[in-house]
Each structure stands twice: as C-alpha cells, then as structure tokens.
A and B are shown apart, each in its own frame.
Chain A
C-alpha cells in the first residue's frame, strides 16, 4: 500500500473519531448487542404476549396472567442487537484516477465511516469491487489494520455486482462510495442493494476534474478504466454539453435513489474536509 493512502486511512480514522454513525429509526437486525432489534429477545423492554409453547424458557411465563386466565402465557421482550454497516467501495480504475485525490479520498472516507460505525457500536463489513465483490481483509479491525485496498479493478461497479454481489447483512446499514460513472440505468442495481437494508446511502465521490470540464483546447481523453481514447477540441459549447451530461447523470441517480428510499450526496475528493457536513445532512453521520 502506498504511503499516502495509508496516511489517508489514518487521517480518516482520526476524523471519524469525532463522528458516530447515525442509526436509522427502524428496527435493525444483527448479532447480540446493545441496540433494540426487531425480533423478540432478552432485553428488559416488553414486546408482546403469546401462548406458551414447549421449549420456551419457563422464566418468561407470566404467572399473574396464568392466575387470572389459567393459561400459560409467555411474556416476550425485545431482543438487543448490534447494528451492522456494510460499506461498499467502488475500487475500480475510475476511482484510482491519477493526479487527483480520488483514491485518497476513498480511503479517507472509508476509514472515517468505519470509525464512526465503531463509535456507534456497529459491526462493519467492507466490500470492494474486483472480479465480483470481495470482502476487505481485516475489515472488522480498525482501519489502520486493513492492509492494502487494491485499487484499479478492471470491472466496473455494475459488472462486479453482476458477477458476484456482496453478501450484505439484512436490516443493516449500507453505504456505497463510488463515482457512479457507469452506463446504464442505476435503478436495478440500487433496488438490489436496497433490498432488506435498514438504510442505504449513496456517496458520489468525484474528482474536481470529473465535476468540471477541461479547459478549451485540443485534448486526448483517455478512459482510465477501459483505456479507450477520444481526441477532441474542447470549446465553450462542448464544455456546456459536458456539464449538461453530468447533471443529467446525477439527476437519473437522484430519481433512482428517490424510488428506492436511498440518500444521495456528491462529494468532491479535493474538498473532502469541507464536505463532511453533507454527510450529516443526509443523516449518515452525527457528532460522537
């Protein structure tokens, strides 16, 4: 792992100490923990009554109710679970754009969210693109222990999801970090990712060169993901067309997020430090 990227992980971890993940109001699922779950459990919070069935813990029988009704009634309590965060990272080549802060911002943001999740007593899992989605090694450990995040995968986010989707935990929080620059309708992918999720947040991470069109002149554009090139003379009208196309792409993602109940925000990699408030606005982070 390159030193700057390691430094980004450390920076992200330090920044994340100030935040906690903002958990959704809806009941969540997970391993035994400290948060109320959606199912019956062993907490002190009453949930419901039901008839006794063989195998039920005799300590949960409500004897007062038995005295009144001569029936064995079991008192159910809410379970206590530990919330879970699935952090889905787009580590394709487009996120490793040279001469930009995009890969560093990805590392920093992932570390920040993981640390914020720890602060919120959430378990976490990091998924990254490659030949399908793969789990990052040591992702349950603090970011400094993650080791190398292999950037530059040949598959796009959509292709990787098609090959091998991530095994996401049900009723967990899910956060996608990607530049969202792939062709096709985003709605099918978003539907799959939002299925069974307590919440879904989409963070579009762009380099400044992605957000703004290049200066006028002759330019040979090279797709960093596919290697394809395009020689073009950029003038004012083409710059305007570029801006319109980007706006249209973002609008299509916005519409898809609206339909799936996801939250979308766009961050500029070079301005990440000043953009964290946007994550609070979409109720992903809150001060710790």
Chain B
C-alpha cells in the first residue's frame, strides 16, 4: 500500500460518487413505449431466470472521466509508492589495477569478473547501468546506459593497468552519482578493508586467486662523482617461497644475473655501481603470474649542478661557504652566468636566472640563540634539518622585511627568510653571525646549503628526476613554450607549456623521451617510469569470496518513491482519450 502524504485530500473522493450520481440521473432508464419488441428481438434477454434488477449502463466516456478523476484524487493524496526491486540503478566498480590481469589468459581475475558480471546482469534487471574503473583515482567509463548490452564498449576501456586501485574513492563517487540509491557491485581480487559493508547497497565480489609473483618494488639510480649507483629491489609477493631469475642488462651486455630463492614477502636488493656513461639499464625477472611488474629500467640520471658566484667580502665567511659548497658536490665548475649569487650587499644580484643568498649584516654584539627554533618544514630549504642543540648567532633586533617569508626563526627573530622577486627568482636572506654560532660546525650547515643548491637545481629547465615510479607526478620545465613527449611505444605527443612547468601525461611503465627548446638550444632528456607497486604486486592476499549484499525484496519494500508524475501522465492520457471519443461521437452524429 502506498504512503499517503496529504490525507485531507481524501475529501476529494466525494467527487467520484458525485460524478456517478450526475451520470445516473442523466442516464437512468427512461420509459419508452414501443409498438412491439419484435424489432428488439436481438437485444431481448431471457426472462426465464425471473425478473432481474436492471442497472443503468453508462457510456464509455463516463468511465474515462471516472478514471481521470480517480487519478487526480490519488495524485492529490501525494502517494509514495514502494519501488520495485528492479527499478534501482546498478553501478559497477571495476578494479582497474594491474593485479586483475594476473594469471594465464582466460583465467585472469578480469575474465572471472566479466563472467560474474554477465551472470548478474542475466539474473536481474536494473533501471540503468554505470561503470566506474577504480585505478589510482576513480574514472567513469562512459555514460549511464539503460540496457546492459550497451556496456560492451565501456568494458573494452577496462584495461587493468593501473598501479593502484582506490576502491574507496570509486565507492564514494558511486554514492555521489545516485545519492546512495543505486546498487553497487564491486569487482576486484581482494577483500574489502572493512568486512562490515553498508547493508543493502554494496555487493563486494572478489575473484582473485593467490599466485606466485616476483616483482620489482624499488629501483633507483643516483649519480656519484665516479659513476652511478643503481639499486634494484626484488620481492617475493607470493603466499609461499619461490624462485626466480633476476637479469640486469645494459644494451647487449649482461651486468648482473642471479637465480633468486626467496621466502614469502622477503626482498632481495642488488646494488650495482656503474659508470656514469653507461646507458639505460634494464632489469628483468622470469615469467610469473603478473608480467607487468617483471621489468624495470633505469636511465642515466642528469647531473644537476648549479653555477654559483661568490660575492662575499668577509674572507672567513667566504672560505666557509666555499668549502661548504664543495662538500655538497652540486656546484658547477664554470664561470658562465651564475644561477646563484652569494653576497652581502643590499642590492639584488644581476642576471635573469640568478637567485640570491644574502648574508644580512650582523652587529658585533649579536645575540646567541639556542632555541627553540621554528622551521617551515615544508620548505625545500629545511628538508632534513634538525636544529636542537645548536647555537645560532644573529641580530636580535632584526625584523622580517615586508614580502619576506620566514623559514627559520628564533622566537620572533628571523634567521632565514625568502622572497620571490618580480622575475620569479628566489632571494634568500640569512641572518647569521659566524663568530657567535655553532651551526657551521654541525651537519646542518652543509645540509642547508645542499637544500639551497638542490632547490635551485630543481628550478632548472628539464626533469627534476629521471627514474620515477608509475603513478608519481612527472613535473617538467621546458625550454620554450612547447615540448614533445615520446612514449615507450614510440608515439609522440605535442605539449603546450604556457605556465612554465607542466605535468607529463605518464600512464604506463617504460622509457620516455621529452624534447623542448629551439634547434640551437635543445633540451632532450629520457626518463624511465617503472611499475614499483609492492602492494599491487602482492598476490598472496588475492581471494575469491563475497561480502555484502543488495537489499532483499522485503527490505526494498520499505523504500518509497513518489509516483505523482506517472499519475499526472495517466490522467493526461485519459483526457486525450476522452477528447478523441467525444470528437468521434460528434463526427458520427
């Protein structure tokens, strides 16, 4: 039975007997004497059963009017009718991560999930269908469709190549799409994080199987003075001990090869010192359940050095800084236009790309600050710094100049501040009295300079890093306004870079090349993107099971929805039929 919103509207029901009374009075049997019933023989009814009560017969338009009136009265009541089970939409959340393609073709979780999806679609009808691919972020595979046959094109977009599956975000999107009214089906290869799913809405179907899988979980190549140091970390992400072969090559040359025997969830690290001139190193594991995580590549990293100009008049301080710069190993041995000017003057350094490190003048009697020091730990300059236990001498009367951002302070006294000038250059101010400080005697001092040079180096055109994980952002500062990105499959894409720095569209592992700049000043860099997702490669937790269920028929009965539009539409259709019948009768007469 429907729920009535406006019970007082029942009063309108009186219009129904009123209409019937009007018709009864108009259409009651009028007596008509006739010469003979001979001509009515066809309609004459048998009287053998005795006299029967004659009821007036009404024309068809009476019943249409009665129906229209009843529909309008019913609509006025504001009924909220129970929704049949099949009128709920279905949203399918598909795990788009690489682990869904584990195993031989035809037996992969993706195949099992498709089979299960087809069975569910054959069992039940839904009002509409929507697919969401849960990769690193949720992604709609297409528009909502009214029929399951229309899902075929969308399913072909389900590639299962993502390095992660954010199912929680996908579920949140599904809830937002239909305001929680839809039945949600999750097709994945693992169990939900919480076994208590919201009742009546989410059906979680895991179709994975534990399989033997080795995977690269880490790969890095760092430059050193003599050469590069390469790291490969391999993990056995199976449910049991297993063996595999690791092979590292550089072109045709085999750099490393070893048969690995690893217990479950154990890793094996290989550190390879290679010459800086050596090209791309490619590491490969033997065949296992998941092929996508069996390869890693490390390209030659670009050495980013900073051209530094010393303009410090204090010889002791200049010597200290020079030694510190040398310790960082990031100073370029060149006299070309500087990228960083270290000075003590109040004027800004010349040069379009010259950042500045200004040592503020310090009075002879500087204050010795022992803390507490306040640091902006998110700033690149403070990366890895810990200041407790040090003494920092500075001008106690110094104040933060307008436009300067304090990075390190001792109470309200600024020690390190930065300011971005109109050309976009960073100007760092250091309030530092060497004679009153112990900072320069601690590792924090070279660390501070390393941070400064590293920060400056990252602002140079090109890539900040050359070996990255799949899923990580790849920022790029091009030379010029455009860049050309070459994908691992050798396809190219032109990129516009109006804002100076862009994020390269990297979706798959492999070695990429990006080129920018004019012909005479071209910047060409390669970078490797590796599938290094241990959580995703871990097939030991893959499982086939089911959690949660959609609402049963009884539960669904408690879900009511307004049927007012349908009643109004029916009434309008009745009115049209009424008009048509009246016009037809007039035509006959």
Contact = CB atoms under 8 A, between A and B. Distances in A.
Contact of B35 (A97, A219, A238, A245): A97
Interface string A241-258: 110011001000000000
B588 interface: yes
**4 nearest CB pairs, A to B:** A233-B57, A231-B54, A181-B36, A220-B29
Contacts of B11: none
A173 to B, nearest CB: 27
Interface string A210-240: 1000101111111111101011110110100
Interface stretch (B39-47, B251-259, B575-583): B39-47
B37 A223 contact: yes
Contact of A181 (B38, B57, B58, B59): B38
A63 to B, nearest CB: 66
9 contacts: A209-B34, A214-B32, A218-B28, A222-B31, A230-B45, A232-B40, A235-B59, A238-B43, A246-B39
Contacts of B423: none
A206 to B, nearest CB: 8
B34 A224 contact: yes
Interface in A37-59: none
A236 B33 CA distance: 20
A99 B39 contact: no
Contacts of A183: 38, 41
Contact of B34 (A182, A218, A222, A236): A222
A230 B35 contact: no
Contacts of B57: 218, 233
B557 interface: no
A218 B30 contact: yes
A179 interface: yes
Nearest to B52: A231
A257 B32 CA distance: 31
Contact of B38 (A182, A209, A231, A235): A182
Interface in B1-35: 27-35
A181 B35 contact: yes
Contacts of A235: 59
A206 B39 CA distance: 13
B588 A236 contact: yes
Nearest to A93: B35
Per DSSP, chain A at the interface is mixed
Interface residues of A, number: 39
B46 to A, nearest CB: 11
Given A238-B43, A241-B42, A220 B32 contact: yes
Nearest to B37: A223
B44 A230 contact: yes
A210 B28 CA distance: 22
Contacts of A228: 37
A220 B40 contact: no
B56 interface: yes
B23 to A, nearest CB: 10
A219 B30 contact: yes
Interface residues of B, number: 25
A228 to B, nearest CB: 6
Interface in B41-86: 41-45, 54, 56-59
B52 to A, nearest CB: 9
B18 to A, nearest CB: 19
A179 B35 contact: yes
A249 B35 contact: no
A94 B31 CA distance: 16
A218 B28 CA distance: 6
A226 B37 contact: yes
A82 to B, nearest CB: 36
B39 A242 contact: yes
Given A232-B43, A235-B59, A210 B35 contact: yes
A210 B34 CA distance: 7
Contacts of A182: 36, 38
Contact of A242 (B31, B40, B54): B40
Contacts of A116: none
A245 B31 CA distance: 21
Nearest to B56: A218
Nearest to A244: B42
Nearest to A95: B35
B337 to A, nearest CB: 104
A223 B27 contact: no
B35 A221 contact: no
A218 B39 contact: no
B59 A221 contact: no
Nearest to B47: A228
Given A218-B28, A225-B36, A230-B45, 17 more contacts: A94-B35, A97-B33, A97-B35, A206-B35, A210-B34, A214-B32, A217-B30, A218-B56, A220-B29, A221-B37, A222-B33, A224-B36, A230-B43, A232-B43, A241-B42, A241-B43, A246-B39
A131 B404 CA distance: 135
B36 A245 contact: no
B42 A97 contact: no
A113 to B, nearest CB: 21
A218 B58 CA distance: 8
A104 interface: no
A142 to B, nearest CB: 30
A29 B44 CA distance: 47
Contact of B42 (A220, A221, A226, A245): A245
Contacts of B29: 218-220, 231
Contacts of B39: 181, 210, 242, 245-246, 249
Contacts of A94: 35-36
Contacts of B41: 183, 245
A163 B33 CA distance: 27
Nearest to A223: B37
A128 interface: no
A182 to B, nearest CB: 7
A102 B32 CA distance: 15
A191 B40 CA distance: 27
A91 to B, nearest CB: 13
A110 to B, nearest CB: 18
Given A233-B57, A235-B59, A218 B27 contact: yes
Nearest to A179: B35
